[in-house]
Amino acid sequence: MRHTLVIGTDSPIGLTLVRELGEHGVAVHAMGRHRGSLGGQSRYARRFSLQPDGPLAEWLPDFAAQHDIEGVMAVGEETLVELAALHGTIRNCTIIAPKSGPLAQVLDKTVTLAAARRAGVDVPDSWQPHGIAGRKQKANTLTYPSAVKWADPVAVVRRLEAAGLELEKVEYAEYPDQLVAILSKYDRLGIWPLVQEYIGGYGMGQMLHIHNGKVTLAFQHQRLREWPPSGGISTYCAAVPMELHASQRALSEALLQEIGWEGPAMVEYRFDPATGRTSLMEVNGRFWGSIPLAYHSGVYFAWESWRCSMEVPFLQQGCVKPRRARYMVPDAKHLAHQLRSPGVSATGKLALLARFFGRFLDLRTCYYVWSWRDPRPFAADMMAMLKKAMHRETIAPTHRPQLRPVSSKLP
């Protein structure tokens, strides 16, 4: 039996791909970085392998031949970049990934923003610093708060690691001096992140699958909670009826066509209900973090990608189910953050707790990891968390610094 290899099954994204393909009859060979890989624990994974070290080009051709791999999919952007370069190079194996040219465009936010302007999509005012000269003067002309993010995170992550700097998804500056301080962290590297005006409202994602220049599958969702709250992964999100935001979806399609995109992508916006403004944040040219919501809603992007690449006959998309999805661990962190907020009263905290736990009774709510039909990944996830907690308890006494006594008075 021929298998499809899914690289990067350690996360809920990879787990969703394994489940979705397996439920559609695809023989899935899951590949992750550790034995407890969520996708590797799924009942829908026919086989599991640890990912070898080194570039894909060095091991994937032999691996595909040895394990009778007919197609390869991937989750992470760095892996997709490597995979894109292998189109047509592995005998009897289809690379189910975007092509290098369009992928490079969506990975670089400055290029994406330029394409969006040409397609008529609203974009935030942006400034890409290229040096130190004139930085303070420019900072004084911007509006605040401003968002600071890397135009192409994949291209800079290793340089940041080598310099001992963490890759920040987004940072915020409330005033000019704070922006200058953020940018100054990167002076020794000679590269700087993109600065954008802050857009209010909430996150909205429009997901499209394009094949031969035409949309074959569509879905959209609203972010209800994120972790961290300043901007991060979606921890609680809801499907949005397809009759809403139709004109914006047409612009999303125009943007992807301008880029020359083929395959699945999420066009991510900030939508401000107060002003009606919908402004582009980025294009995710990969399977996105909230794909479990699309899966639970009956919209199957992994299967559609596989189907189109393998030239399987078209199947009509069913009705979108009005589902919500939660990523429980980071959603619990979001709750803890709210409960620690000094501006929340005792009554407000009780209301937060009631809403949080009340969602367990909501039949529309599904989960990124938990599934009655496939419980082993959840069990593996819980076991991994327990091991981490025990490890912290074990090492804490020898690494805990000596703290001076502090006042017991609460602020």
User: Per residue in 1-23, pLDDT tens?
Assistant: 899 999 999 999 999 999 999 99
Q: Are residues 183 and 130 in the same domain?
A: yes
Q: Is residue 247 a part of any domain in this protein? A: no
Please classify residue 203 by burial: count the beta carbons closer than 10 Å to its beta carbon, then call 0-12 exposed, 13-18 middle and 19+ buried: buried
Q: Quick one: pLDDT band at residue 232, thresholds 50, 70, 90?
A: confident
Q: Are residues 17 and 87 in the same domain?
A: yes
Tens digits of per-residue pLDDT, 169-203?
A: 899 999 999 999 999 999 999 999 999 999 989 99
**End position of a domain, from candidates 98, 114, 138:** 98
Q: Which domain holds residue 16?
A: 3-98
Given the DSSP bridges, would you call strands 45-50 and 28-32 parallel, antiparallel or unpaired?
Answer: parallel
**CA dist., res. 71 & res. 90, Å (int):** 10
213: left (phi over 0), alpha (psi -120 to 50) or beta: left
Q: Is residue 20 a part of any domain in this protein? A: yes
Please classify residue 137 by burial: count the beta carbons closer than 10 Å to its beta carbon, then call 0-12 exposed, 13-18 middle and 19+ buried: exposed
Q: Are residues 68 and 31 in the same domain?
A: yes
pLDDT over 50 at 403, yes or no? no
Are the beta carbons of 18 and 5 closer than 8 angstroms? Answer: no
Q: What is the pLDDT of residue 400?
A: 38
Q: Is residue 117 a part of any domain in this protein? A: no
Q: Quick one: pLDDT band at residue 105, thresholds 50, 70, 90?
A: very high
Helix (H) or strand (E) holding 14: helix 12-23
What is the arithmetic mean of pLDDT over 247-276? 96
Are the beta carbons of 252 and 98 closer than 8 angstroms? Answer: no
Our CA angle for 321, 313, 290, nearest 5°, is 35
End-to-end CA distance of the chain: 65
Q: Is residue 129 a part of any domain in this protein? A: yes
The CATH number of whichever domain residue 51 belongs to comes to 3.40.50.720
Are the beta carbons of 244 and 218 closer than 8 angstroms? Answer: no
**CA dist., res. 85 & res. 98, Å (int):** 10
Q: Are residues 131 and 91 in the same domain?
A: no
What is the arithmetic mean of pLDDT over 231-259? 95
3-state secondary structure of 359: helix
**CA dist., res. 279 & res. 256, Å (int):** 15
Number of domains making up the chain: 3
Q: Are residues 94 and 135 in the same domain?
A: no
Our CA angle for 266, 272, 275, nearest 5°, is 135
**End position of a domain, from candidates 98, 113, 145:** 98
Tens digits of per-residue pLDDT, 32-72?
A: 999 999 999 999 999 999 999 999 999 999 999 999 999 99
Q: Are residues 27 and 83 in the same domain?
A: yes
Place of tokens 């409330």: 174
What is the arithmetic mean of pLDDT over 366-378? 96
Q: Is residue 339 a part of any domain in this protein? A: yes
- Per the DSSP assignment, residues forming a β-bridge with 71 are 4, 94
3-state secondary structure of 224: strand
Q: Is residue 106 a part of any domain in this protein? A: no
Q: Give me the amino acid identity at 257.
A: Q
Are the beta carbons of 15 and 291 closer than 8 angstroms? Answer: no
Q: Is residue 66 a part of any domain in this protein? A: yes
Q: Are residues 83 and 169 in the same domain?
A: no
The b/e string for 44-68 (b: 16+ C-beta within 10 A; e otherwise) is bbeebbebeeeebeeebbebbeeee
Q: Are residues 18 and 88 in the same domain?
A: yes
Query: What is the rounded average pLDDT for all residues in the chain?
Result: 92
**End position of a domain, from candidates 139, 171, 197:** 197
Q: Are residues 143 and 58 in the same domain?
A: no
Six token digits for residue 19: 């489940």
Q: Are residues 94 and 154 in the same domain?
A: no
The CATH number of whichever domain residue 158 belongs to comes to 3.30.1490
Q: Is residue 193 a part of any domain in this protein? A: yes
Closest C-alpha among 49, 93, 47 to residue 71: 93
C-alpha distances out from residue 282 to 23, 73, 228, 264, Å: 31, 22, 18, 14
Please classify residue 116 by burial: count the beta carbons closer than 10 Å to its beta carbon, then call 0-12 exposed, 13-18 middle and 19+ buried: buried
DSSP E strands, 145-199: 146-149, 171-173, 194-197
Q: Are residues 8 and 60 in the same domain?
A: yes
Provide the whole-model pTM.
0.90
Q: Are residues 91 and 165 in the same domain?
A: no
Our CA angle for 366, 370, 374, nearest 5°, is 115
